[in-house]
Amino acid sequence: MTDNTQSKPGVGTKAVWAGEKDQLVHHATQVPVVVSVAYGYDDMEEWYDVAIGNKTGHIYGRNTNPTVQAFEDKVRLLEEAEAATSFSTGMAAISNTVYTFVRPGDRVVSIKDSYGGTHRLFTEFLSNINVESTLCDTGDHEALEAEIARGCKIVYLETPTNPLVKITDIQRIAKSAKAVGALLVVDNTVATPVCQSPLALGADLVLHSATKYLGGHADALGGVVCGDKKLIDPIFHYREINGATLAPWDAYLLLRGMKTLKLRVMQQCDSAMQVAEYLKTQDLVESVYYPGLKEHLHHDVAARQMHGGFGGMLSFAVKGGMESAAILLPRLQYANCAANLGAVETTYGPARTTSHVECTVEERKALGVPEGLIRMSVGIEDLPDIIADLDQAFAYLKSKI
Ligand SMILES: *Cc1c(COP(=O)(O)O)cnc(C)c1O
């Protein structure tokens, strides 16, 4: 598949075909896992031309690799970006992107509910190089706009957030970022390119923890950032020196996982919506958070900026807090109680142990994270089985309290 096909292929078609053709060899229909660390040249002129970038090709595995390149191209085409570069993990994508552009004295404006590691980067590490981070209440667009208007280098968003699935209006914030010449970076991990296109909404860079939905099988770590070539080139350069390279075998697993991205995510969105509705009917459930629910604070924004669904992740608070969660979760049959999300298996985790493990009880309270909050990443099991599983676990919980 090439970029200039006459009718623009859909996201499902791109997930299957995009980015692969240039890397195929021996008439194979699948991208090879090229494990070679270095690439040999007998022609010294050719070697030199490739090394200085005058000719395409590979020199050394920390810089580029054909399997990794296929992965980057597939994500790039899914995000409809000009360029992409990849990383060993999602956090490497985030930190390399931020460190490429900030200099001492700069300011970063973001939200309070970003992913735990991202939050740590802002609160613990950037101050070491004299970069100030201002974190606004998530969903408070006026506060964000006011802080951005004071001037900053990077505006960093994540929407929906984890685990409270709060929403920020990307298009609206893109306008204020542009007005002060700041780069708008959006973590699209939870929404995926199936449900949200941050670049089309005005973001400069979109990034992913490919570990989650892109890979989808919880068997490979990876990260990726997409945007214009003039922004991706310096990030690639920082990464090739910094060394947080995606391994070829992991690139292959992620590529293979991505073939079913659309099928998985559509099913997960559908099921998540229905699980959210089901949870609302449970008297042991205190609150349910899902952007697809009409009563969600920013449902209208989510409906405007997301497409195809509202994502496969939701959260709910059980009455009785962690004590109840400790009875409920081990009782579930079709469930991994684990720290990841976006896998084909339904995965549950208490916010206290996963996204907000570093916070004290008071801090969680201040962030509006109930002690009994459970994050649920809905898998691709049959929906009646997911619901029946929850049903028997709630019945058991009721008999215990
Ligand atoms: C998991 C996650 C990350 C970090 O990704 P790793 O691959 O674990 O480094 C970043 N952002 C979000 C939203 C995530 O869920």
Taking only the tens place, the pLDDT of each residue in 74-95 is 999 999 999 999 999 999 999 9
Q: Is 264 a catalytic residue?
A: no
The confidence band for 376, taking pLDDT boundaries of 50, 70 and 90, is very high
Distance CA 161, CA 112 (A): 10
Domain(s) labelled CATH 3.90.1150.10 in the chain stretch across: 261-400
Atom of ligand 1 nearest to the CA of 223: 7
Flag whether pLDDT at 128 surpasses 90.
yes
Atom of ligand 1 nearest to the CA of 162: 13
User: Does residue 212's CB lie within 6 angstroms of at least one atom of ligand 1?
Assistant: yes
Q: In CATH, which superfamily holds the domain spanning 261-400?
A: Aspartate Aminotransferase, domain 1 (3.90.1150.10)
Taking only the tens place, the pLDDT of each residue in 300-359 is 999 999 999 999 999 999 999 999 999 999 999 999 999 999 999 999 999 888 877 877
Predicted pLDDT at 344: 98
Q: Is 331 a catalytic residue?
A: no
Flag whether pLDDT at 226 surpasses 80.
yes
Q: Is 115 a catalytic residue?
A: yes
> Catalytic: which of 106, 113, 169, 187?
187
The confidence band for 364, taking pLDDT boundaries of 50, 70 and 90, is confident
Residue 265 C-alpha to ligand 1 middle, in angstroms?
17
Predicted pLDDT at 358: 74
The confidence band for 371, taking pLDDT boundaries of 50, 70 and 90, is confident
Residue 331 burial by CB count (10 A; 0-12/13-18/19+): exposed, middle or buried? middle
Pocket test for ligand 1, best of 95, 115, 377 (most atoms within 8 A of CB): 115
- Run of H or E residues at 287: strand 285-289
Atom of ligand 1 nearest to the CA of 342: 15
Q: How far is CA 389 from CA 313, 354, 385, 386, 395, in A?
A: 17, 22, 6, 5, 10
Residue 303 C-alpha to ligand 1 middle, in angstroms?
24
In 3D space, the residue among 128, 125, 130 whose CA is nearest the CA of residue 106 turns out to be 130
Flag whether pLDDT at 54 surpasses 90.
yes
Q: Is 212 a catalytic residue?
A: yes
Residue 130 C-alpha to ligand 1 middle, in angstroms?
25
Residue 93 C-alpha to ligand 1 middle, in angstroms?
9
User: Does residue 117's CB lie within 6 angstroms of at least one atom of ligand 1?
Assistant: yes
Among protein residues, the one whose CA lies closest to atom 1 of ligand 1: 209
Predicted pLDDT at 2: 53
In 3D space, the residue among 86, 115, 385, 64 whose CA is nearest the CA of residue 258 turns out to be 86
Residue 301 C-alpha to ligand 1 middle, in angstroms?
23
Kindly state the tokens that stand for 351.
Answer: 């916010």
Atom of ligand 1 nearest to the CA of 161: 13
Residue 74 C-alpha to ligand 1 middle, in angstroms?
19
Distance CA 118, CA 269 (A): 25
∠ CA 341-289-120, nearest 5°, is: 55
Predicted pLDDT at 6: 67
Among protein residues, the one whose CA lies closest to atom 7 of ligand 1: 90
Predicted pLDDT at 153: 98
Q: E strands along 90-227, which residues?
A: 107-111, 132-136, 154-158, 183-187, 205-209, 223-227
Q: How far is CA 243 from CA 61, 64, 226, 251, in A?
A: 10, 11, 18, 16
Residue 24 burial by CB count (10 A; 0-12/13-18/19+): exposed, middle or buried? middle
- Domain 11-258, CATH class in plain words: alpha beta
Predicted pLDDT at 360: 80
